[in-house]
A and B are shown apart, each in its own frame.
Chain A
Amino acid sequence: MLAQAASRTSTQSAASHAVNGSASTRASPQPLKKTASPMMQSALSGGPAAQTTTANTPSKPQRPARRIEMEQLMNDFRRALGTNWTHYREIITTFLTGHLTRIELERELSVILDKSMVRMHNQFLLASLANALRDPPPSTNGLPAWNMRSKDAPLRISKNSGDPVVAKLKSEIMGFTPRERRRIKAITRDAGMKGPMPSTIVLTKQARSVKFPSVKDKEKSKTNITQEITQSYQAPLATESFELPDADNMRTRILGIAYEHGLLDGIANDVPDIMLAGLEYHLRDFLQQLLDRVRPKKHKKMSDTTFVSLANASAQFITNASTKETVNSTAENGVKSGAAVVNGVKAKRQRSQQYEDDNVITAEDMALALELAPHSIVEPSGPMYRLWDVMLRDEIDDFPTPSVQQ
Chain B
Amino acid sequence: MSDKCRYKPEIQQMMFVSGETNDPPTETTAVIEDIVRSQVVEMLLQATAQAARRGSRSIAIEDLIFLIRHDRAKVNRLRTYLSWKDVRKNAKDQEGGAVEGADLLEDVAGAAAAAPAATGPADPVGPKMKYRKSKVKLPWDLTNMFPEPVPDAEDDDGAAGPDEDELEASLATLQRLKSADERTRAMTKEEYVHWSECRQASFTFRKGKRFREWAGISALTDSKPNDDIIDILGFLTFEIVAVLTEEAIKVKEAEDEMEMRRSKRTKTRKTERFLFDPPDEDQRPVLAKHVTEAFRNLQRSKPKQQALRNFSGGLVRTRTAVI
Contacts and interface: CB of A to CB of B under 8 A. Distances in A.
B281 to A, nearest CB: 16
A243 interface: no
Interface in B250-266: 251, 254-255, 257-258, 261-262
> By DSSP majority rule, is chain A's interface helix, strand, loop, or mixed?
helix
A17 to B, nearest CB: 69
Contacts of A309: 168
A344 B255 contact: yes
A348 B312 CA distance: 28
Contact of A374 (B255, B262, B297, B313): B313
Interface string A198-223: 00000000000000000000000000
B303 interface: yes
A343 interface: yes
A378 interface: yes
Interface in A279-294: 281, 284-285, 288, 292
A140 B303 CA distance: 68
B311 A307 contact: no
B313 A380 contact: yes
Contact of A348 (B293, B303, B313, B315): B293
Contacts, number: 58
Contacts of A378: 313-316
B322 to A, nearest CB: 16
Nearest to B307: A315
A320 interface: no
Contact of A347 (B171, B257, B312): B257
B311 A371 contact: yes
Interface in A317-376: 343-344, 347-348, 351, 355, 371-376
By size class, the interface of chain A is 20 to 34
Contacts of A380: 313
B206 interface: no
Nearest to B316: A375
A305 interface: yes
Contacts of B167: 307
B168 to A, nearest CB: 6
Contacts of B255: 344, 347-348
A69 interface: no
A371 B312 CA distance: 8
A13 interface: no
Interface in A368-406: 371-380
Contact of B296 (A281, A315, A376): A281
B244 to A, nearest CB: 15
A266 to B, nearest CB: 19
> By DSSP majority rule, is chain B's interface helix, strand, loop, or mixed?
helix
Given A305-B171, A347-B254, A351-B254, A372 B310 contact: yes
A309 B313 CA distance: 31
Given A315-B303, A348-B254, A355 B261 contact: yes
A347 B310 CA distance: 27
B320 to A, nearest CB: 13
B306 A373 contact: yes
Contacts of B293: 284, 348
A375 B314 contact: yes
B107 interface: no
B156 interface: no
A107 B292 CA distance: 80
Interface string B294-323: 001100101100100111111110000000
A12 interface: no
A380 B292 CA distance: 28
Contact of A307 (B164, B251, B300): B164
B313 A343 contact: no
Contacts of A377: 313
A43 B96 CA distance: 112
A314 interface: yes
Nearest to B251: A348
A247 to B, nearest CB: 15
Interface in B222-262: 251, 254-255, 257-258, 261-262
A284 B292 CA distance: 12
A302 to B, nearest CB: 14
Contact of B313 (A277, A292, A379): A379
Contacts of A376: 316
24 contacts: A284-B293, A285-B296, A292-B303, A305-B171, A307-B164, A307-B167, A309-B168, A311-B302, A314-B303, A343-B258, A344-B258, A347-B254, A347-B257, A347-B258, A371-B311, A373-B310, A374-B312, A374-B313, A375-B306, A375-B313, A375-B316, A376-B316, A378-B315, A378-B316
Nearest 8 A/B pairs, CB to CB: A347-B258, A374-B313, A314-B303, A348-B254, A375-B316, A375-B309, A375-B313, A378-B315
Interface of A: 277, 281, 284-285, 288, 292, 305, 307, 309, 311, 314-315, 343-344, 347-348, 351, 355, 371-380
